[in-house]
Amino acid sequence: MALRTFAAMARDLAEKKTTSQHLTEQCLAAIKNESGEGIRVFLHVDEAVAIATAQAIDRLRAAGVTLPLYAGIPISIKDLFDVAGQVTRAGSMVLSDRPPATRDAEIVTRLRRAGLVIVGRTNMSEFAFSGVGINPHYGTPAAPWDRAARRIPGGSSSGAAISVSDGMSYGAIGTDTGGSCRIPAALTGLVGYKPTAHRIPSDGAIPLSPSLDSIGPIAHSVGCCAALDAILANGPEPDLAGSRVEGLRLAVVGNFVTNGMDSIVFEGVDRALAQLSRAGALVKRLDIPAFDHIPEINALGGFAAAESYAWHGKLIEEQGRDYDPRVRVRIERGKLQSAADYIKLCVARDDYRIAVERSIGDFDALVMPTVPIIPPYIDDLAEDDAFAAINLLLLRNPSVVNLFDGCAISLPVHDPGAAPVGLMLAAPRGRDHHLFRVASAIEACVAKQ
């Protein structure tokens, strides 16, 4: 399944080599496999609607009706998006008795309009507030590598990534406030994308931090992510044909994001950079002083604490005992921020963004490890201190991009069967199509089969 791209499936569907019903039934069988992770990956499986949708698309195609290019491909959505008639729990117990949504989130409407088959809604870190992916309420799906040892999937879009890696969907829609698409992609050997935030509407999605929240895809390839991103953004798909590594100007960050990097990640990233250099990319090591100021900017909890507390404050007063304590303590940091603190934070973010954009303006992409470690064991994070340390380490690199409102993508660069290593590429806001072209070229250069 890892080799089945959206483009390849679109061709097979158009040429009647497969059907949407067949693809959907394969995904549903993987979800129901008792020896698999399905029970921990999906909080709701929409089997009847998915099969009916697939059959309808097959009938229309057989009748010669012109359909959207990717109509009939099965995908999953994170349990953060409203679907009419379903309860949006956001991976929590707090919202489990909430009334069902009365209408679809805007991105769900766009996915349906494109003819994609939504097989169900996926598990996640509670309220999207963790990069680890552990959920004490609904269980934690294990990363595909070294599965018997039960390693973390990364979060917060944990179930989204495993749904793709394990053949339960061909693409997944997640959210990314500080790396929640890119972290699980890096830890599961997939591609994860964080768009420029304003390109994709968040109507009908439970917020974490509106200043930082982005909605993006996780899939098997850059092309698949580009296809899903175009649907989410209701815009044209970027032309990736002819993308070349030769002449690309790549800035490899040398400060802040490399602290605490383990040897496996270092070697994987170093090999990829050497390949790119041999292929003609201009690779330059670059320190970005603005990155070193991030801990100071976020000293009081940053936007995520302040803005999440504004949404959760009353709920915590009424149902605080039902929250994952590791999530609640982070939200409650927002209670300590004053209006003056928040205004200063907004000013600091603007200054930071300007400084970063000046530093990288002459480059095609900023390059760094997506995360500096391979996935730890789930059991090793049972203690709060260990959990907090790993959570901060996983979020650190991806969150530098959310803070300057850029776009970013994580690509797998490890050998087949080896520990997962993600290479992150980033660019200033609004350069999404350019970044997809850069990523497509780099993917072709460093891809491991």
Residues with active-site annotation: 78, 156, 180
Distance, in Å, from the CA atom of 100 to the CA atom of 86, rounded to the nearest integer, reads 5
SS3 429: coil
Distance, in Å, from the CA atom of 405 to the CA atom of 177, rounded to the nearest integer, reads 10
Nearest to 412 by CA among 231, 220, 208, 163: 220
Sign of CA dihedral 352, 353, 355, 359: positive
What the block records as the tokens of 327 is 């999530």
What the block records as the tokens of 340 is 């003056």
The amino acid present at 228, given as its one-letter code, is L
What the block records as the tokens of 38 is 């399905």
The answer to whether 100 and 87 have CB atoms below 8 angstroms apart is yes
Distance, in Å, from the CA atom of 181 to the CA atom of 200, rounded to the nearest integer, reads 15
DSSP state of 430: T
- DSSP H or E run through 342: helix 339-360
Return the CA Rg of the chain: 21
Strand order in the sheet with 42-45: 42-45, 117-122, 74-78, 171-175, 215-219, 191-194, 407-412, 422-427, 365-369, 249-253, 282-286
Distance, in Å, from the CA atom of 142 to the CA atom of 144, rounded to the nearest integer, reads 6
Residues contacting 159, CB < 8 A, separation 6+ = 40, 41, 42, 43, 76, 78, 79, 122, 123, 124, 141, 153
Could you tell me the maximum CA-CA distance found in the chain, to the nearest angstrom? 62
